[in-house]
């Protein structure tokens, strides 16, 4: 066999034998002003110390609402306003689906606003990917803002054992979730909202614009990522 073909065949066999493990992510980006139907994509379950792969049996999803952390990428000029992020609650809504979890509910704050959602009493085959459907309401970028993108980082716990093995897709270690060996620390899922530059162009003074990122605070994660009976 041609050496190049032999190498290609070997790589193909290797990829089939050892599939790459993917993070838990959000499937698609959202457009300004439009309701978006979307999915949390579960890339894999948990791996025990002996190498055993365990299924995801529950999940907790949290959008940033309590003292969110802001950052920017690119040159910030003009008005730094993006959206009223204090009102990000109620932007995301859970869509019923029992493909993975037989019990689902939305997380509510003290005002009765949706800040995330959770599923339990489930099982996702550890060799498969899973989809958890949700929707987001459309947001609007202020006309005088120089922001072209809003990136919302979402904290997600994929739980494989009750109050035990889990993957924590959160921005950083917190006081409550302080084990650096848990998979997912520093790799939260991200939901991107793209400005409609045709209908809502950047002001001439903005140049290329910038990306505004909002993340859940450690306080938010410690208070609201928990899932009764599954994640303390």
Domain borders along the chain are 22-224
- For 4, the 3-state DSSP assignment is helix
pLDDT of residue 9: 38
Beta bridge partners of 106: 117
**Torsional sign, CA 98, 100, 105, 106:** negative
Which residues have CB under 8 Å from 19's CB, separation 6+? none
Question: What percent helix, strand, coil does the chain show, rounded to 5?
Answer: 10, 40, 50
What confidence score (pLDDT) does residue 86 get?
54
The residue whose two tokens read 């110390």 is: 49
pLDDT means per 10 residues, the chain with 232 residues, are: 40 38 90 96 95 97 93 73 65 96 97 96 95 95 91 97 97 97 96 96 89 94 98 97
Question: Counting every residue, how long is the chain?
Answer: 232
CB atoms within 10 A of CB 105: 12
pTM of the model as a whole: 0.88
Which tokens belong to 122?
Answer: 């489930």
User: How confident is the model at residue 8, as a pLDDT?
Assistant: 35
Nearest Cα residue to 149 out of 228, 223, 202, 98: 202
Nearest Cα neighbor of 203 from 145, 139, 140, 141 is 145
Q: Which residue has the tokens 């899932």?
A: 227
Class of domain 22-224: mainly beta
């Amino acid at each position: 066999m041609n050496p190049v073909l032999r190498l290609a065949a070997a790589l193909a066999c290797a990829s089939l034998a050892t599939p790459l493990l993917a993070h838990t992510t959000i499937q698609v980006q959202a457009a300004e002003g439009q309701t978006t139907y979307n999915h949390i994509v579960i890339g894999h379950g948990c791996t025990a110390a002996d190498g055993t792969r365990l299924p995801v049996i529950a999940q907790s999803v949290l959008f940033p609402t309590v003292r969110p952390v802001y950052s920017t990428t690119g040159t910030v000029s003009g008005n730094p306003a993006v959206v009223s992020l204090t009102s990000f609650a109620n932007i995301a809504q859970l869509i019923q689906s029992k493909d993975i979890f037989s019990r689902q509910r939305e997380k509510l704050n003290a005002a009765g606003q949706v800040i995330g959602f959770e599923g339990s009493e489930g099982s996702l085959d550890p060799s498969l990917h899973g989809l958890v459907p949700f929707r987001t309401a459309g947001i609007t970028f202020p006309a005088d803002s120089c922001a072209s993108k809003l990136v919302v980082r979402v904290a997600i716990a994929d739980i494989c054992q009750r109050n035990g093995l889990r993957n924590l897709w959160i921005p950083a270690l917190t006081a409550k979730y302080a084990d650096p060996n848990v998979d997912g620390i520093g790799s939260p899922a991200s939901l991107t909202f793209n400005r409609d530059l045709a209908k809502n162009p950047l002001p001439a003074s903005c140049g290329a614009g910038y990306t505004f990122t909002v993340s859940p605070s450690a306080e938010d994660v410690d208070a609201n990522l928990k899932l009764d009976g599954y994640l303390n």
